[in-house]
A = this chain, B = another copy of it.
Amino acid sequence: MTSTKPGMRRVAMVGAGMVPFGEHFDKGWDELVQRAFLAAVGSVDKGLDRREIEAGFIGACRPGLHGQQTQGGVSLSGTIGLLGMPASRIENGCPTGSETVRIGAMAVASRWHDLVLVVGYEKMRDATVEGLLGIALEGHPIHNRGETALNHFAPQARAHMETYGTTAEQMALVSVKNHANGSHDPYAHHKKPVTLDEVMASPLICDPLRLLDCCPQTDGAAAVLLAGEEVVDRYTDNPVWLWGAGNGTDTYWMHEKETLTSFPATKLAAERAYAMAGVGPTDIEMVELHDCFTIMEIISSEDLGLTEPGKGGQLVESGDTMIGGRLPINPSGGLLSKGHPLGASGVAQIVEIFWQLRGDVAAQDAARQVEFRRGLALQHNAGGKAISNSVVTIWGQDKP
């Protein structure tokens, strides 16, 4: 076993939980946060008095849009019955959730706090008309209005097809695989499996991406509890250890991109996470990656070093990334099936890793449980305008 950065206090996840992703028109953001929090607290094997939590970090991309008071982290403390607790809000585009976990881990690794809570949430479904008008009006008067995510992903998909011969069928297979996985995930938004024909026949949204190449709009919240190595035993004999985490950035102007067939932010984040963990792609046995669109799983599997550049389409075609395959990718169903509530998505990927590495998934639906030998899993987010930010985290059954 290797080590995290020299002299760094090791950090473990001792609890994790989430709400079922989906449409939560009947719940405010605060109820989603409360429920994710209670699920995480309830998952702590040896129990936890919530007052032992020393600080909270909340990840949310557009809280004002969804009816939260935009008051930083403070709204977290009262919502979970811990008024007074230090609290901060982190916002980092689509990697908001995993970046909030990375910063929560710094709070523990620094010995500033022994036990911290990280919650990510987003309500995407019941944004008010006024809020949507607000987001449409805000921002740069020339560059930032009317852009959709497809503006970035469709040209990259086309470039990948032209450069490497990636096919629409290979992209569709990502959707088929992830929806099949999601059908075994009680927390997934879209639990219905889809066939290759159904994906290929779904409406074209932005050529070459079809409806079933796109993740849904989803409400959700997820929470994890991070503890310093000396106190882990108080909470569980079965923790999940943080081995590494990295953040990388890239230009957010499409016209400045040096490549349309990879995402440099992901490559940097992965390089940093692998270096900190002291492991490489071949050591990883399970991946939760950012499949907001099917092409994104293909390109990300290359950027994360899980296959050669240009071979991501063949990787999904090979079946290796199915549950039971050589390297299961997105056993939770991924963003495509489980859903993508921005601030919650990265935290929920890490919750899935908590369950998988501990073997907890077997109790939910044994068909989703991944088998481990060495016990290492990787999580990945990427996004923001023109996919300019990425976060990668690596977790293990054993202490790093």
Q: Which residues of A are at the interface with B, using a C-beta cutoff of 8 A? A: 5-9, 55, 62, 64-65, 67-75, 77-78, 83-93, 95-96, 99, 102-103, 105-107, 109-112, 128, 130-131, 133-141, 143-144, 246-252, 264-265, 268-269, 272, 384-385, 388-389
Other-chain contact of A5, B6, B73, B75, B112 (Cβ < 8 Å): B112
On whether the beta carbons of B249 and A70 are closer than 8 Å, the reply is: no
Within the complex, the shortest CB–CB distance from A388 to chain B, in Å, comes to 4
On whether the beta carbons of B90 and A90 are closer than 8 Å, the reply is: yes
- List 19 A-B pairs, Cβ < 8 Å: A5-B111, A5-B112, A62-B70, A71-B388, A72-B93, A74-B93, A74-B250, A75-B252, A78-B252, A88-B103, A88-B247, A90-B90, A90-B91, A106-B106, A110-B111, A130-B141, A134-B134, A134-B135, A134-B136
Q: Which residues of B contact A91 (CB under 8 A)?
A: 70, 72, 89-91
With A5-B111, A55-B247 as contacts: A71 and B89 at CB distance below 8 Å: no
Q: Which residues of B contact A6 (CB under 8 A)?
A: 111
Other-chain contact of A141, B67, B86, B134, B389 (Cβ < 8 Å): B67
A139, closest chain B residue (CB): B64
A7 vs B102: C-alpha distance in the bound complex, in angstroms? 20
Q: Which residues of B contact A128 (CB under 8 A)?
A: 137, 141
A264, closest chain B residue (CB): B84
Q: Which residues of B contact A130 (CB under 8 A)?
A: 137-138, 141
Within the complex, the shortest CB–CB distance from A11 to chain B, in Å, comes to 9
On whether the beta carbons of B74 and A388 are closer than 8 Å, the reply is: yes
A384, closest chain B residue (CB): B71
On whether the beta carbons of A389 and B250 are closer than 8 Å, the reply is: no
A73 vs B269: C-alpha distance in the bound complex, in angstroms? 14
Within the complex, the shortest CB–CB distance from A12 to chain B, in Å, comes to 15
Q: Which residues of B contact A251 (CB under 8 A)?
A: 78, 83
A341 vs B77: C-alpha distance in the bound complex, in angstroms? 25
A138 vs B130: C-alpha distance in the bound complex, in angstroms? 6
On whether the beta carbons of B90 and A268 are closer than 8 Å, the reply is: no
On whether the beta carbons of A88 and B90 are closer than 8 Å, the reply is: yes
Q: Which residues of B contact A77 (CB under 8 A)?
A: 249
Q: Which residues of B contact A135 (CB under 8 A)?
A: 64, 134, 138
A6 vs B56: C-alpha distance in the bound complex, in angstroms? 21
Other-chain contact of A249, B74, B102, B134, B249 (Cβ < 8 Å): B74
Within the complex, the shortest CB–CB distance from A7 to chain B, in Å, comes to 5
Select the residue from A86, A136, A268, A384 with max chain B CB neighbours within 10 A: A86
On whether the beta carbons of B138 and A65 are closer than 8 Å, the reply is: yes
A246 vs B90: C-alpha distance in the bound complex, in angstroms? 17
Select the residue from A90, A95, A138, A250 with max chain B CB neighbours within 10 A: A138
Q: Which residues of B contact A86 (CB under 8 A)?
A: 246-249, 269, 272
A96 vs B385: C-alpha distance in the bound complex, in angstroms? 23
On whether the beta carbons of A250 and B112 are closer than 8 Å, the reply is: no
A104, closest chain B residue (CB): B106
Within the complex, the shortest CB–CB distance from A89 to chain B, in Å, comes to 5
Other-chain contact of A72, B67, B88, B95, B138 (Cβ < 8 Å): B95
Given contacts A72-B96, A83-B249, 12 further A-B contacts (CB under 8 A): A64-B135, A69-B143, A70-B138, A71-B252, A71-B385, A74-B249, A74-B388, A89-B90, A131-B137, A131-B138, A131-B139, A134-B136
A77 vs B92: C-alpha distance in the bound complex, in angstroms? 13
A99, closest chain B residue (CB): B88
On whether the beta carbons of B7 and A111 are closer than 8 Å, the reply is: yes
Within the complex, the shortest CB–CB distance from A24 to chain B, in Å, comes to 16
Within the complex, the shortest CB–CB distance from A114 to chain B, in Å, comes to 10
With A73-B389, A112-B109, A389-B71 as contacts: A89 and B88 at CB distance below 8 Å: no
Other-chain contact of A106, B73, B112, B141, B249 (Cβ < 8 Å): B112
Select the residue from A74, A246, A248 with max chain B CB neighbours within 10 A: A74
